[in-house]
Amino acid sequence: MQTLYSTQFFFRYISLSILLSICFSISSSATSPDSTISKPRLPAVPHSKKTDSVIVKKNYTTQQVVVTGTRNESLVQDSPVRVEVISNAQLQSTAMVNAADLLREQTGLLLTTNLRTGIQMMGLGPDYTMILIDGQPMVGRIAGVLELSRISVGNIDRVEIVKGPMSSLYGSDALAGVINIITKKPKDGLSGKVYSQYLQHGAAEIQLEGGYGGNDIEATAFFNRKSAEPFELQKDSLTVPYSGFTDYTSQIKALWRISPSINVSGNGRFFQSDSRGRFTESFFGQIASNKGSVHQKELSGTIASEWTHGKARLTGQLYGSKYTERYDFDTTQGSAGNTDDFDRQTFKGYLQYDVFWNLRNRFTFGLEENFDDTYGSRYPDKPSYRTFSVFGQWEGNPTEWVSYSLSARYVNNSAYANPSFSGKGFDSTLLTILWLSNPKLALNFKLTDNLQFRTSIGTGYKVPDFRQLYIQFSNNLAGAGYNLLGARRLGLDLQPERSTAFDAGFTYSFTSESPEAPFTGLIEIRAFRNNLSNLIEFYLAGHDAIRNVDIYSYHNLAHVYTQGIEANIRVAKQITIAQLVSADIGYQYLDAKDVEVLNAIDKKEAVYISGEYLLRKNYGGLWLRSKHSGVARVQFDEQELGIRANIRLQYVGRFGDESLDKNGLALGNPPRRVLDRDDEYVPGYTMLNAAISKRFENVSFLSASRIETTIGVNNILNEMNLKSIPSLLGRQFFVNLAIQW
Q: How many CB atoms lie within 10 A of CB 398?
A: 10
| 8 Å CB contact between 550 and 588 | no
- Structural domain including 660 reads 2-39+52-740
Look at residue 46 and tell me if it is in a domain. no
Confidence tier at 163 by pLDDT (50, 70, 90): very high
Surface-to-core class of residue 266, CB atoms within 10 Å of its CB (0-12 exposed, 13-18 middle, 19+ buried): middle
Look at residue 563 and tell me if it is in a domain. yes
The closest alpha carbon to 452, from 406, 512, 399, 505, belongs to 505
pLDDT in tens, 225-255: 999 888 888 888 888 888 889 999 999 999 9
In this prediction, residue 244 carries a pLDDT of 87
Average pLDDT, stretch 537-565?
A: 84
Pairing of strands 482-485, 549-574: parallel
Look at residue 148 and tell me if it is in a domain. yes
> Which range scores top for mean pLDDT: 61-75, 235-249, 253-267, 406-420?
253-267
| 8 Å CB contact between 183 and 222 | yes
> Which range scores top for mean pLDDT: 92-96, 240-244, 423-427, 571-575?
571-575
CATH number of the domain to which 246 belongs: 2.40.170.20
Q: pTM score, two decimals? A: 0.87
In this prediction, residue 143 carries a pLDDT of 62
* pLDDT(310) > 70: yes
pLDDT in tens, 255-264: 999 999 999 9
| 8 Å CB contact between 691 and 635 | no
The set of residues, in sequence order, having a beta carbon less than 8 Å from that of 365 and lying 6+ positions away, is 20, 352, 353, 391, 392
β partners of residue 267: 253, 302
Give the H or E element holding residue 733.
Answer: strand 732-740
In this prediction, residue 658 carries a pLDDT of 83
Confidence tier at 415 by pLDDT (50, 70, 90): confident
Surface-to-core class of residue 337, CB atoms within 10 Å of its CB (0-12 exposed, 13-18 middle, 19+ buried): exposed
In this prediction, residue 320 carries a pLDDT of 95
Surface-to-core class of residue 424, CB atoms within 10 Å of its CB (0-12 exposed, 13-18 middle, 19+ buried): exposed
| 8 Å CB contact between 554 and 494 | yes
Q: How many CB atoms lie within 10 A of CB 34?
A: 8
β partners of residue 304: 265, 317
Range of weakest confidence among 49-63, 206-220, 298-312, 691-705: 49-63
Distance (Å, rounded) from C-alpha 536 to C-alpha 557? 6
Distance (Å, rounded) from C-alpha 124 to C-alpha 110? 10
Confidence tier at 21 by pLDDT (50, 70, 90): very low
Look at residue 140 and tell me if it is in a domain. yes
Range of weakest confidence among 135-149, 298-312, 588-602: 135-149
Range of weakest confidence among 153-167, 275-289, 658-672: 275-289
Confidence tier at 24 by pLDDT (50, 70, 90): very low
Average pLDDT, stretch 652-673?
A: 81
Look at residue 44 and tell me if it is in a domain. no
Distance (Å, rounded) from C-alpha 67 to C-alpha 171? 16
* pLDDT(203) > 70: yes
Confidence tier at 287 by pLDDT (50, 70, 90): low
Confidence tier at 605 by pLDDT (50, 70, 90): confident
Look at residue 180 and tell me if it is in a domain. yes
Q: How many CB atoms lie within 10 A of CB 138?
A: 23
Look at residue 692 and tell me if it is in a domain. yes
Pairing of strands 244-259, 217-228: antiparallel
Q: Please tell me the chain's helix, strand, coil percentages from 3-state DSSP, rounded to the nearest 5.
A: 15, 55, 30
* pLDDT(274) > 60: yes
At 429, the amino acid letter reads T
Q: State the total domains in the chain.
A: 1
Residue 42 phi/psi, 5-degree rounding, is -135, 150
pLDDT in tens, 337-388: 677 788 999 999 999 999 998 889 999 999 999 999 998 888 888 989 899 9
| 8 Å CB contact between 367 and 391 | yes
Distance (Å, rounded) from C-alpha 186 to C-alpha 730? 37
Q: How many CB atoms lie within 10 A of CB 302?
A: 21
In this prediction, residue 100 carries a pLDDT of 85
Look at residue 431 and tell me if it is in a domain. yes
